[in-house]
Amino acid sequence: MRILVAGGAGFIGSHYVRTLAAGGYPGFEAAEVTVLDKLTYAGDRANLTGVACTFVHGDICDARLLAEVVPGHRIVLNFAAETHVDRSIADGGDFVRTNVAGTHTLMRACLDAHVERLVQVSTDEVYGSIETGSWREDAPLAPNSPYAAAKAGGDLIARAYARTHGLDVVITRCCNNYGPHQFPEKVIPLFVTNLLDREQVPLYGDGGNVRGWVHVDDHCRGIQLALEKGRSGEIYHIGGDVELTNVELTKLLLDACGADWASVRNVEDRKGHDRRYSLDDGLLRGMGYAPRTPFRDGLAATVRWYAENRTWWEALK
């Protein structure tokens, strides 16, 4: 079985590849893995050190390259995306290019190559903000940032290829991820690395924005379950075990790093900052999914990883 992982040198994609190559997904131990990654600022070959895979340096927007790389793979997973909201607010062009046009180019290549199944990895941010309750998979899309809008556009392209062309596509949407190898512009590694260097951390607005959190390993297990058991054309939510305000998260990170509130610097709120995200992941849980990593345990392990792997993140910062 040959599996192509687009964006496999990034944070989530590389964790999936490392687990897959190590035999972490029963029944897939013999899979031959190809990683396709553009190696932008957030993609790093070092994330795949020692991993048995074929690496292709390239862009999912490159139709000619995909026509060469995709054929022969039974399964394709698309982790490739521009993901940082602040960057999308500053300039959304790359987000539209990669997350919408790139997804379309990949879908076309998979259709032409008769790929048996494609997993489109997405985000809870496509739904916008929710005051109470949790989104189900049939909730309307109402993205508020250029990043979220671009991801929603890619999801709709994927859905269209499933409905129009019969391409076997499954879409997953997840809450906020954390864990080792996450690029240090994201909130948890940013705060941890700043605090390890005894620098202040920035807290947006009043810090009351609420996010769900899931360890990257649990997210990838949810993706694998959707890959193996999901119905074609369907969407599956992947949740964690906790929802926290940014203030609550900041307090936990301060404690974990031995710092106090004097290390916090309040900054102007992000433009269009969604107040709360929350996913109902009952559909996937009914298929056997459950997060295994309690948030406090996973957070402590993540802090230790960044403390012990300065050479990985210092160059990136």
Marked catalytic residue, from 25, 147, 277, 306 = 147
Rounded Cα distance, 92 and 108, in Å: 23
Active site residue 147: yes
Token pair recorded at residue 66: 């995909």
Active site residue 199: no
User: Pick from 219, 96, 83, 107: which is nearest to 166 by CA?
Assistant: 107
Long-range contacts of 230-235 (CB under 8 A, 24+ apart): 230/170, 230/287, 231/170, 232/117, 232/162, 232/168, 232/169, 232/170, 233/159, 233/162, 233/163, 233/169, 233/170, 234/137, 234/170, 234/171, 235/137, 235/155, 235/170, 235/171, 235/172, 235/173
Active site residue 124: yes
Residues 6+ apart with CB under 8 A from 49: none
Token pair recorded at residue 12: 């989530």
H or E element, residue 204: strand 201-204
Rounded Cα distance, 77 and 73, in Å: 11
Token pair recorded at residue 297: 């345990």
Marked catalytic residue, from 37, 125, 155, 217 = 125
Task: Note whether 244 and 230 are within 8 A (CB).
Answer: no
Token pair recorded at residue 197: 């260097």
Marked catalytic residue, from 124, 155, 217, 274 = 124
- Single-letter residue type at 212: G
Q: Known catalytic residues?
A: 124-125, 147
